Amino acid sequence: MSNKTQRGGAKLTASGKRLRMRTAERSDIPGIVALSKRVYQGTGIDPYSTAELRGQLNHFPEGKFVVTLDEDIVGYCATFRVSGAVCLKPHTWESITANGYGTRHDPNGDWLYGMEVCVDKSVRGYRIGQRLYNARKKLCESLHLKGIVFVGRMPGLSKRLRRFGTAEHYLEAVLNKQVRDPVLSFQIGNGFEAIGVVEHYLDTDRDSLGYGAHMVWHNPKIDRDAKPGHDKHYGGRQPDTIRVGTVQYMQRRVQSFSEFMSLVEYFVDVVADYKGDFVVFPELITLQLLSIEDQELNPQESIEALTKYTPRYREAMQDLAVRYNINIIGGSHPTRVANGRVENISYVFHRDGRIDEQPKIHPTPNEVYWWNIEGGSSLNAIDTDCGPIGVLVCYDAEFPELSRHLVNQGAQILFVPFCTDERQGYMRVRYCCQARAVENQIYVVMSGNVGNLPNVANMDIQYAQSCILTPCDFSFARDGIAADTTPNVETVAIADLRPESLHIARNSGTVQNLRDRRHDLYQMKWRGQ
């Protein structure tokens, strides 16, 4: 599976269907049977029977996952627990999976065995396989297992055996990137190590000639050097992290909407390759589209031209979020809303296909004067697969009541797309964002523009130093900065944020701003939507 968008194919998001991943249920069995028939047609591998799937689900239900496109099952993953003495030595698929029924599941097994991952060809390119592999890793970590083992297919072997002579030489060539195998290369790219070749693993697999690559992934939270029989006991599992990437984006002239989206996609791909959960773009990023025009438009013409891109922008960004399996904070885009007003709206594109909107509440004097942008009246925490977040567009971060309103709703990460023309304006936003992080004990992620856009009114110069900020206490970086960038260069900053650290700070930190509020003296009451 490629990291790059498959050009020319129909966009999944254009259908309006929702992509979801969840634990499999017994009612999914007919859909999984149908999926396996589609996937393995022509390979020599038998599809699963209803009885086999019933056995898999009954023996270890928490180890089975499906990906659905609305009601259709388009991906399936099956795992079970097993001891290292069984899975780390050569074996066959039939023997270790009990002919597909999963009865070899050992509740005390210290490894997770991957017996199946299959994805419908119609949704290739949307990282379905990666989502399923990630689910396996999370399950492995939550169970404190040593790692994951499986024997992977080598479907390119049958076509290249004459060239490389043996399955071992073919595996070595794939590891050295002399050749790409559609399955094996994907597994290596997801952090699995090859420990050998297993002969006669699945003789019905014609493309692999019955061979398989013995693959291992070690749980990073388990000490590999711990002596056998002396399991290390932890005080509690290390809290999960949320990986965030903020894009410091260079404004430059583009010739077309496609060129603009190719630049955006590049950064989405970069953060997705780092297994990011969120990628954040700056405020008014779409003003770059005005550089397509051959002549300078007056401010009113500019905004009118820009609002016409709204449907294409939403569709393209929605597709990237699903395709790259990452949540995108899409900067902001001037949008004409239903009542005819133009609002500066930040769109949140979820990796399951949902879209949320957050209008800028306080347009700056410049936005009002040049573009007649009006402020919105709704401010809500947005539920994501990483917990509730909030979005404040640039100037809004300078009003502490807004952040407090979002935190009251449960937001733990505040995303601030901004656009400032010189250092003084930037520092106003930066200092206020740092204050919001301290007073609310939250993470704040800033993303700004650099560069310039000739012939685009009110976008002459840009100044930015994008960053990821934290509260100031012992649980966080010394200066309250998780990641920072060099000013005025195009770049990306990435950091892992721990919700558990916020919980600790709020309840047992050196200062406890949220807990110590005097509700008897003051309060925040929201009158908007």
For 165-298, where are the alpha helices, taking DSSP H only?
A: 167-175, 184-189, 257-273
- Residue 141 annotated among the catalytic residues of the structure: no
Nearest to 334 by CA among 315, 316, 360: 360
- Residue 394 annotated among the catalytic residues of the structure: yes
Distance of alpha carbon 154 from alpha carbon 173, whole angstroms: 12
Nearest to 136 by CA among 193, 86, 81: 81
* DSSP codes of every residue in 319-361: HHHHHTT-EEE---EEEE-TTS-EEEEEEEE-TTS-EEEEE-S
Pick the catalytic residue from 52, 116, 265, 283: 283
Residues 334, 283: contact at Cβ < 8 Å?
no
Could you give the C-alpha distances from 109 to 60, 80, 85, 305, 518, in angstroms and in order?
A: 12, 9, 10, 62, 52
Residue 72 has phi, psi (to 5 degrees) of: -90, 135
Nearest to 314 by CA among 264, 247, 371: 264
**Cα atoms in the Cβ-side hemisphere of radius 13 Å centred on 500:** 7
**Which string of b and e fits 22-34 if b means at least 16 CB within 10 Å?**
eebeeebbebbbe
- In terms of Cβ atoms closer than 10 Å to its own Cβ (0-12, 13-18, 19+), residue 509 is buried
Which residues neighbour 95 within 8 Å (Cβ) at sequence distance 6 or greater? none
Which residues neighbour 205 within 8 Å (Cβ) at sequence distance 6 or greater? 43, 44, 45, 153, 155, 212
- Residue 138 annotated among the catalytic residues of the structure: no
The dihedral formed by the CA atoms of 213, 219, 225 and 229, expressed in degrees to the nearest 10: -100
Pick the catalytic residue from 77, 87, 118, 394: 394
Pick the catalytic residue from 360, 367, 398, 490: 360
Which residues neighbour 347 within 8 Å (Cβ) at sequence distance 6 or greater? 313, 314, 317, 330, 332, 333, 355, 356, 357
Could you give the C-alpha distances from 397 to 41, 340, 402, 429, 432, in angstroms and in order?
A: 55, 26, 7, 7, 6
- In terms of Cβ atoms closer than 10 Å to its own Cβ (0-12, 13-18, 19+), residue 461 is middle
Active site residues: 283, 360, 394
